[in-house]
Amino acid sequence: MLISLEEARKIIDINISSKHNYYRYESIYNSVGKIILEDIYAIKSIPEVNLSAMDGFAFKVSDYKKYGKLKIVGKLFPSSKEIPELKEGEAYYVATGAPVPKGADAVVRIEASKVINNELIVGEEVFEGKDIKYAGEDIKEGELIIRKGDVLTPYHLGILTYQGIREVKIGNIKSCVIASGDEITPFNNPSPELIPDSISPIILSILEKIGKATYYGVVRDEKESIKEKLIKMEETCDVIFFIGGSSVGEKDYVKKLVVELGKLLFEGVSVNIIKRGGVGLLGETPIVSLPGQVVSAVTVFYEHGLHVISRMLDSEIRKFVKVKLGKDMYVEHKMDSTYLFRIENGEAFPLRWGTGLYSELIKADGFGYLSRGKTHKRGEEIEIQKFL
């Protein structure tokens, strides 16, 4: 029986929870590409003190306007530890990245300066703040630098290293992925006579963001073979993703076996594209049934799979945005429908509709739902779950 999407979401919330600590603390250098499970705040400002943005001379603008020339009394470099107090009528030579003396409010570049008898004469218009990087201009102490649920990128490493943050909290879920079909062959050991399993690599690569993902290959459409695999995976996996065999055909055994071996929470929802995606439990191990068509599999994975994982982690890793529809859309289907969307300049444009369109999936930024039998007008606000 198909249920509403809202009901399915409530069932997941009620039945899936964080019963174990599915996380670990890992070196930032080993965590690139992983989803971060806590907000990370700056421990100190960047820069920590006012710095010179150029090779030149640091001084106080009002002093130069008063005297017309300034006495050069010292030099500062990036390695300088002591930061002197600027006295009236003084200037300091400063290298790029060097701290500027306390009280200085401008830097004049070397090429716009003239030094005569150790006195500075400025050859360009100057103003307060010229060529100074102020403390906290880049990052302020206490500022949020990585939001919980964001993916750690190589570009975060510089900030974290500067801050002295060496470990981050990441997922530690053991995910398992298996596909079924007499016509399918494992992608990592393909048989030329069969169709390669092209959906598992997508799911596995996303699951690697929250832990260790294991591929269990392809199982034939035979009840006992599938049963044997499910029993084995229940013993070793924290969550199972089963691709194929999710419909109501003669050889669609997965949900029947979940009923036999555990508990089927729901078999599907009344929304096109994702309608055959189901969720169950084998003991305490959640199992998410994904359809065998790529768009359906990916959207079910995001809708139900990432919901399940977020509940297990006790941390929301899904990304939702509100955007305006970029064109009028009439939904002629008998059910509410799932659409892939491309987002441009804050507007969402629906892509071609279908369950197995690899080319459209590549173009998409995410997916959302439009109500059946209704014309949705351009400018209408819709919610899109973004692809990670």
CATH number where 349 lies: 2.40.340.10
111, burial (CB in 10 Å: exposed 0-12, middle 13-18, buried 19+): exposed
Percentage of the chain beyond pLDDT 70 is 98
Within this chain, do residues 178 and 153 fall inside the same structural domain, yes or no? no
- In tens, the pLDDT along 203-258 reads 999 999 999 999 999 999 999 999 999 999 999 999 999 999 866 666 678 999 99
In a domain, 46, yes or no: no
What kind and span of H or E run contains 207?
A: helix 200-207
d(CA 290, CA 246): 6
Within this chain, do residues 95 and 185 fall inside the same structural domain, yes or no? no
In a domain, 239, yes or no: yes
- In tens, the pLDDT along 138-194 reads 999 999 999 999 999 999 999 999 999 999 999 999 999 999 999 999 999 989 999
In a domain, 127, yes or no: yes
pTM of the entire structure? 0.88
pLDDT of residue 19: 83
Q: How many residues does the chain have?
A: 388
SS3 303: helix
Within this chain, do residues 207 and 279 fall inside the same structural domain, yes or no? yes
Find the mean pLDDT for residues 348-354: 95
Of 279, 313, 347, which closes a domain? 313
CA 154 to each of CA 29, 138, 141, 151, 159: distance values in angstroms, whole numbers, following the listed order:
9, 18, 21, 10, 10
8 pLDDT higher than 80: yes
pLDDT of residue 351: 96
Q: Strand 70-76 vs strand 90-94: parallel, antiparallel, or unpaired?
A: parallel
280, amino acid identity:
G
In a domain, 139, yes or no: no
- In tens, the pLDDT along 94-113 reads 999 999 999 999 999 999 99
- List the single range of 197-206, 252-261, 263-272, 338-347 with lowest mean pLDDT: 252-261
Map 138-152 to HEC letters. CECCCCEEECCCCEC
Of 268, 297, 313, which closes a domain? 313
| Residues spanned by the domain of 34 | 25-39+144-170
CB 333 within 8 A of CB 270: no
CB 297 within 8 A of CB 199: yes
The CATH number of whichever domain residue 103 belongs to comes to 2.170.190.11
pLDDT of residue 169: 97
In a domain, 376, yes or no: yes
